[in-house]
Structure formats: structure tokens, C-alpha cells
Structure 1
Amino acid sequence: MHLTNRVALRNQLFYATLKRVCVFLLICLPFKGFSQSWQAGGFLGISNYSGDLVQQRVDLKYTRYSIGAFVKRDINRYLTLRAGLTYGRIAGADSTNRDTLLLARNLSFRSPVFEAQLAAEINFLDLDVKHFTPYVFGGVALFSFYPTTKDARGNTVNLRPLSTEGQGMAEYPTRKQYNLRQFSIPFGAGIKILITDNWIAGFEIGLRKTFTDYLDDVSLTYVDQATLLRSKGPTAVEVAYRGDEVNPAHAVPGTYPADGTIRGSAKYKDWYAFTGFTLSYRFGGGGRNVWGRQKASSCPRF
């Protein structure tokens, strides 16, 4: 009988403890989820390009503007997920290079870039405690581009339809037409500063690794002039080779390169970058109420 009472008492204690744990989870888990916060904000900065038409890694002479918007979800103090849309412009030209061969090639381009991005940020510090934190980020993006150039008369010419390197032409079956929508891998680093409980400012440098070499419409070799003329017309020939537009010291007028002459380099893919300032508003959590005061925990004590 004594043993039976001990077993019954042990069972009672077990079920009482289990009940308390369940109550604790039911009460505290919603508060844990509520401590996560959302952010909505904007980005304003510059865009740059790296590819066949710049001699150095990045030519700051062709820096253009970029602008964007984003939403973020703070999973915890060290992990933030984000989604964003960014618009920028990129450009490059041989005319500002120092290499004689590049000057003689005399190609140029400009293109809009529209990007949709999903990424994760790793914060090194607790922003609410330190009021600032460095961070790194990485993710995946879908972007679109559309390279154009100015002809000798100053008219804007869309490059892709002209197949300047034989893309999509029957005479060059291995050269497929490049897609104007591509995936890229965005990554970089930045710093966030907590201005108030709800406003967060930041600065970010973000690189984009692409899987195309045609942001600038330059990658491989020249194609046969007569074939290009027959298939795409005189404008295609005019913008495919522009050495006859430069100073005769750098090129001999009218000497269109032979089929197979190097025009670009496919060894490295093109890159683009967005660098700038961010400003976001935090709401719906972060351990604070809508007036910015710290929320009190309602978790029971045992």
C-alpha cells in the first residue's frame, strides 16, 4: 500500500510538471515569435560594372545611380532575411582605356539593370544592445538587362537583336542568343546603425556574380562581315566593329577584322555591383511595442 501511494504520488508530480511545461510553451512561444520584427525601407546609391569594356576591375568613370526598396524579417538578433527590388544602370567604353588595342576596338555600351533579390544577413552584434552592427549577406537574385550603344550619329541602338558576334545565326550554331533575364549571386557586407527604436540606417557594398558574359554584348570573336551584313544589316556591321571611328593613329579606317579575330574574352563572366545607403523602419516586434517601449514578458515562473 505504501509503495502504491508512492507510485501514485510520483505520477501526480509527473503530470503536474508536464502540465506546467505545456502551459509554459503555450504562453511563451507566441511571445518568442512576436519578438521577431519586420522592416521596410529603401536603398539609394551607385551601380558599377566589371567586364570586357573596362581595363581595370571597376572603372569609376562609369559609375551610375541605383535605387531600391526592401522588406526584412529579423529571425533573431543575428539572422535577418530580406527581399528587395533594385534598379540601376551600368556602362563602359573603350574610349577611356589606356591600352592601344582597346582604344582601337572602340566599343561601348550602357544598360539598365532591374533586380529582384532574396538574401540572408548575418549580424555580428546585437543591434538593440550595441546600437550598431557589421553584417555580411548572401543570396540569390533574378535580374534583367538590355545593352545598347550610341552609333556614330548619336542614335541609340539596341545591341542584342543585331547579333554582333553571330549569336543565334545559322552560320554560327554554337553561339546561342543570350537571355536578357539571368540569375546572379549577390553577396557583400555592410553596417547598420540603430537611430531610434524603430529607425535603422545603414551602408552596404554588394557584388553580383553573374553567369553571363554579355552584359556589355562583348565576349568572343568577330564574325564574317559579309555574313553579318546579309543576316542583320548594315547597322549590325557598324556597331560590331567601330575601329574606323577612332583616331587613325589607333586604327586604319575601313579594316573590318577577319572572321575569328578576338573581340572580347570569355574567360571571366561579367559582374555588376550596387553600393549605397539604406534606411528602414522596424515594426511588429523586436521586443518593443508600437511606442518603442520594452515589452514585459508574461512567461510564468516555476
Structure 2
Amino acid sequence: MKKILVLFFCLVFQNILTAQINEIGVFLGGSNFIGDVGKTNYIAPNELAFGILYKWNKSPRHSYRFSYMQSTITGNDLDSEIPGRNLRGYKFKNNIKEFSAGMEFNFFDFNLHETLKKKLTPYVYTGLTYFAYDELYVINGQTRKDYTEGTFAIPMIVGVKSNIFDHIVLGFEVGARYTFTDNLDGSLPKNENLAPLQFGNINSKDWYVFTGFTLTYTFTEKPCYCAE
């Protein structure tokens, strides 16, 4: 009877135990901006981006993910292929500091307790991001800071990852953030006194993109499998 009870509890909790593994690590890559100033390329990193992240792998197919990342984003009309922007010649620099929480989904099983087996899977991530940035405005062709503000964004990340060594996972990802502001570039300042300085498409929000590598370390006790 005792052996039967032990076997029963092992079978019931096996999936939970194998899923509870932690990952902590870093992100390093680049950022680019998509908006009313500068280039319109979707993926064209031109500034350094870095951060830290933590994952709790709830199952081999999905994880809860939390991260902090930061970067400077820039745009220069002289780099654009749009003639109107070239003639205008505006440029800006803004500072992004973001906190993000959400769910990461693996296309294939990614059971990191099977340490002797190499795993490879594409993945997607989404959730909710809150970030701080500078409210900007443009006057006489010069971009200036008004004050520091914060707002939300929706992250949309695609990537691929593999456990390259025991306890080490390397990933590469591209992550676009759809923001709830149209003033990362100074085109639509919130300050009502600066309303006459607005320009660009006021019906389209700004985006910024982080592209780079993640390197995480996995840690937890391996599950106790019952002997046959």
C-alpha cells in the first residue's frame, strides 16, 4: 500500500515538479525607433540596449517572464529615405526604461530538467510593459526635453532559444513595443502650451524595437522520479 501511495503522488505531481524551474539572466542588443522622425525600417538597431530578466517555467510550453530593460532611442530625418523628412531635418534622442511582465510560449517542449538533451524551440512573448521616457518638443528645429513621463506599451516578441550548456540557455529575439504615446520623438507634446508645435501623423502611435540576445542561467532542484 505504501509503494502504491508513493507512486500515485509521483504521478500526480510529476508535471508540476518538472515545470518549476527558474531562469535568470541578461539581455544585450540594440534598439531602434519607428515614428514620425528618422527611418521607417522596422528592424534597424542603432543604439545599445541591455537589461535583466527572470522566467518561471510553469510548463515545458510556457513561462511567466519579468524583465527590466533600458536604451537610448534616436531618430534623424537625414537618414530617412522619405524626401519630406530629409528636407525637414529633425532629429531626437530619448531615454527608455521599461518594466515588463507577461507570458512566453514555446512552439516545442522545452523541458530543462532533461539536461543531457539539447533543446531548441522558437517562442513568442507578450504581456504588458510600463516604461519611462522624456516628453519632448521641437522648436526652431531643435528638440528639447519638457519633463519625464511614463506610459504603457504592448510587447510583441518572437525569438528562438536553446540550452547550449547545462544550466545555460541562449536566445535571440526581436521585440516590437506598441506604445500608448505618440511623442517619443517630440511630434505630439502633451503640454497644451506646446500644441502649435505638433507635427507628423497624430493618428499613429510610436513604436520602439529591441533586437538582441538573452543569456540565462537555470536553477532549481530536479524532480524526484519514482523508481519502477
TM-score by length of 2: 0.81
Match of 1:283 in 2: 219
Quote how far apart the aligned CAs of 1:22 are: 6.1
Mapped partners of 1:69, 1:97: distance in 2: 32
RMSD: 3.3
Counterpart Cα distance in 2 of 1:46 and 1:33: 36
Name the counterpart of 1:123: 106
1:297 pairs with 2:225:
yes
Correspondence for 1:132:
120
Does residue 199 in structure 1 map to residue 199 in structure 2? no
| Structure 1 residue 53 corresponds to structure 2 residue 41 | no
Partner of 2:199: 263
Rounded Cα–Cα distance in structure 1 between residues aligned with 2:47 and 2:144: 19
The answer for the alignment partner of 2:27 in structure 1 is: 43
Structure 1 residues 132 and 157 mapped into 2: Cα distance closer, same or farther (>3 Å)? same
Stretches (4+) displaced over 4 A: 19-32, 147-152
**CA-to-partner distance for each residue in 1:165-211, whole Å, 9 max, x for gaps?**
xxxxxxxxxxxxxx821111111211111112211111111110111
Higher helix share: 1
TM normalised by structure 1 equals: 0.62
- Greater strand share, 1 or 2? 2
| Count of residue pairs brought into register by the alignment | 219
What SS does the aligned partner of 2:158 have?
strand
Distance 2:102 2:216 in 1: 16
Rg larger for: 1
* Cα deviation, residue 267, structure 1: 2.2
What secondary structure sits across from 2:40 in the alignment?
coil
Q: How far did residue 88 of structure 1 move?
A: 0.9
User: How many percent of aligned residue pairs carry the same amino acid?
Assistant: 29
CA deviation vs aligned residue, 1:86-136 (integer Å, no higher than 9, x gap):
011101122333444323433221011001011211112233455211111
**CA deviations over 1:10-39 (Å, ceiling 9, x no partner):** xxxxxx8xx987655545555544322101
Shift of 1:151: 8.8
**What's 1:180 paired with?**
149
Gaps of 5+ in 2: none
> Is the 2:137–2:187 contact (alpha carbons within 8 Å) kept by the matching residues of 1?
no
**Secondary structure of the corresponding residue to residue 103 of structure 1:** helix
